[in-house]
Amino acid sequence: MTLIFKNHSFKYEIEAVCKLFFPVRPFYFLMISDIDTFTEPEGDYSFLALSESEKEAEAYVKTRINSRISEKSSKLSKDSREYRHDCEYALCRLLFLTLCELTGLAPEWGMLTGVRPVKLVASMEKSGLSAEEIKGRLAERYFVSESKSALALKTLSVQRSVGPLPKNSVSLYVSVPFCPSRCAYCSFVSQTVGSFLRLIPEYTERLCDEILYTSRIVNNLGLKLDTVYFGGGTPTALEAKDLEKIMRKISACFDISALREYTVEAGRPDTVTAEKLNVIKNNGGNRVSVNPQTLHQNVLDAIGRRHTVEQFFEAYSLAKSAGFDAVNVDLIAGLPGDSLEGFEESLNGVIGLKSENITVHALSIKRSADLMHSENTSADGGEVSKMISNSCNLLIESGYSPYYLYRQKNQLGNQENVGWTVPGRAGIYNINMMDELQTVLSVGAGGVTKLVAGERKITRLMNPKYPLEYIRKFEETVLPRKAEAENRLKDMLKTGKINVE
C-alpha cells in the first residue's frame, strides 16, 4: 500500500494506524510538497495532505482500497498550542475513518495504537475526569469500544488496590535469555541452551558481577529493593546450580527482607524440576510462572513448543506443592490449529487448577517469528476477538479481576494481553513495569534499565542484546551504563522523583 504525504511527515503514527487494518502488509512512502501535483498510484493507497492558510489549516485524506474510494477532510485552528500534534491527530483520525469505511472493520481499541491504555486512563483520571467522562473521551477521541474502556478502568482500579510504591524503591530485572528450544511464534532474543551451553558458565559469572555492581548503586544511594523478576527466555532453562548461584548472589548483595514480590519465570514446563523449584523457594522466590499456552497437544505441536500437556500438569503440580504465594499460568489466544471451543477448554482447564494468576495473550505475529507469513494473520484476527471477549467473561465469572494490560504491535484482532488475578495476589512487578510506574534496574543480556523520573521522564539504558556480546563487551558497555544509571539516579533523588507517585 502506498502512503503519500503532502506537506507533513507524520510517518510513525500514520503507519501505526494502517497496521491496525493491514498488520503484515508492506507500506511505501512518498513525500510531496505544495508545488507537486498528486498522481494516483496503482493499487491501494492513501493520500494524506495538510494545507495551511494564515489562520487555519485543513487535513484531507483520500484512501483507495480494492478500487473503492473514501475521502474526508477537517479544519484546524492554527492558534492551538499543540498545533503540530493536532495536525497529526486529525490526519490519523481521517485515515482511521476511511479505513473503517472501506474495510468494514471496527477495531475495538479504536485508533489507540500505544501499548499502554491503562497509563492513558490513569493520566485522564489524574486530570480530574470521572470514569464516565473517561469512557466518553476514549469513545469520542479514539473510537474505543465500551467494553475495552471498561476493561482498562477496571484494571486501573485493581492496580490502585495494591497500594502505593514504597518510597525510594526500585525493582530488579534479571535477564536469562536461554530456552530449551525455540518456539515458532517467538520473537524474543533467546538462545537455545543446547547450542549455547558453553556460554552459560561465563554468562552466569558476568551476571553475578553485574548484580554486585547494581547492588552497590542501590545500597550507596539508600534505595529500597521492592521486587525482583527473573525473565527471559526461560530462567529455569539453567541448571539448578547456576540458578542457585545467581539467586544467592542477589540475597548476598541486596537486602531482600522487605521484598514485596520475587518472581522467577519457569515458562517452559519441560525445564521445571522439584530441585529448581526448591532452589527458587529457598532463596526468596515467592511467585513462579508455568506456561502451557494451550492444553491441546496438537496446538503445542503446531507451534513448535516442544513439551507435552502432561508435562505442564506435572510442572504445575510441583510448583503448587512447593508452596509459592502465587503461580501464574499463561495462555495464548489465536494459536494455529486452535479453535474457539479449544481455547475455551484450555481456559476452563487452567481456571480449574485455581492458579492465583492467569495471563491471557492474543497472539502477536512479530517480524522475526516463523508464523509471520501465515495465512492466520489477518486484521480481524478471525476468532481471536471472540476468544478474548469470552475469556474476560469466563474469568470474571470465576472470581478473577484484570490487574495489568498491555498491547503489542501486530496483535491478532488488535486485541491485548491481560493479567488476571484472584483477590489480593496481583503481580506487583508486572503492574509497575508495564505502566512505567517504578524505576527498574536490569541485569543481563537484553536487559533494559528504565529510570522513571516522573510520568513523562523515562530514560532507558540498554545492555547488549545477545549473551556473547554481553560477555565480550561487559567492561566497555555494561559497566559504563551502570555508572550512568548511578549518576542519573543521584540527580533523580535530588528532585525526589525516582518513581511515579
Tell me which residues touch ligand SF4 (CB under 6 A).
179, 182-183, 186, 188, 190, 232-234, 267-268
Comparison of 182 and 245: residue with beta carbon closer to ligand SF4: 182
| CB-nearest residue to ligand SF4 | 186
Name the minimum Å distance from CB 464 to ligand SF4. 18
State CA 8 to chain mean position distance: 30
Sheet (strand 169-176) strand order = 401-406, 417-421, 357-362, 326-333, 287-289, 261-265, 224-232, 169-176, 440-443, 448-452, 458-462
Task: Find residue 332's DSSP bridge partners.
Answer: 361
In order, the DSSP letters of 411-470 are BGGG--EEEEE-TT---HHHHHHHTT-B-EEEESTT-EEEEESSTT-EEEEEPPSSHHHH
Q: DSSP character for 499? A: B
| CB of 4 or CB of 335, closer to ligand SF4 | 335
Rounded Cα–Cα distance for residues 241 and 279 (Å): 8
Q: Closer CB to ligand SF4, residue 1 or residue 176? A: 176
Cα–Cα distance for residue pair 385/107, rounded to 1 Å: 10
Q: Which is nearer to ligand SF4, 169 or 463 (CB)?
A: 463
Instruction: State the minimum distance, in angstroms, from the CB of residue 167 to ligand SF4.
Output: 34
Note the helical H segments in 45-166: 83-103, 117-126, 131-142, 146-161
Least Å from the CB of residue 268 to ligand SF4: 5
List Cβ neighbours of 436 (8 Å cut-off, separation of 6 or more).
Answer: 116, 119, 450, 452, 455, 458, 500
Nearer to ligand SF4, 169 or 263 (CB): 263
- Smallest distance, Å, CB 173 to ligand SF4? 15
Between residues 366 and 488, which has the closer beta carbon with respect to ligand SF4?
366
Q: How far is the CB of 138 from ligand SF4 (least distance, A)?
A: 32
Other CB atoms within a 10 A radius of the CB of residue 127 amount to 10
Question: Minimum CB separation from ligand SF4 for residue 234, in Å?
Answer: 5
Give whichever of 94 and 186 is closer to ligand SF4, judged by the CB atom. 186
CB of 83 to ligand SF4, least distance (A): 44
d(Cα 249, Cα 228) in Å, to the nearest integer? 13
User: Minimum distance from CB of 267 to ligand SF4 (Å)?
Assistant: 5
Tell me how crowded residue 219 is: count the other CB atoms within 10 A of its CB: 13
Phi then psi for residue 59, to 5 deg, are -100, 135
- Report the residue number, 233 or 334, with the smaller CB distance to ligand SF4: 233
Which residue's CB is nearer to ligand SF4, number 232 or number 413? 232
Inter-axis angle of helices 200-220 and 479-495, nearest 10: 20
* Cell numbers 506537506: residue: 7
C-alpha cell at 393: 467473561
Residue 310 or 341 having the CB closest to ligand SF4: 310
In one-letter notation, the amino acid at residue 247 is: M
CA distance 205 to 203: 5
401-406 and 417-421 as β-strands: parallel, antiparallel, unpaired?
antiparallel
Cβ 454 to ligand SF4 shortest distance, Å: 32
For residue 2, give the 3-state DSSP assignment.
strand
103 phi/psi in degrees, rounded to 5: -100, -20
Report the residue number, 116 or 305, with the smaller CB distance to ligand SF4: 305
Q: How far is the CB of 317 from ligand SF4 (least distance, A)?
A: 20
Q: What is the Cα gyration radius of the chain?
A: 24
The SS3 of residue 357 is strand
Which one-letter amino acid corresponds to residue 77?
S
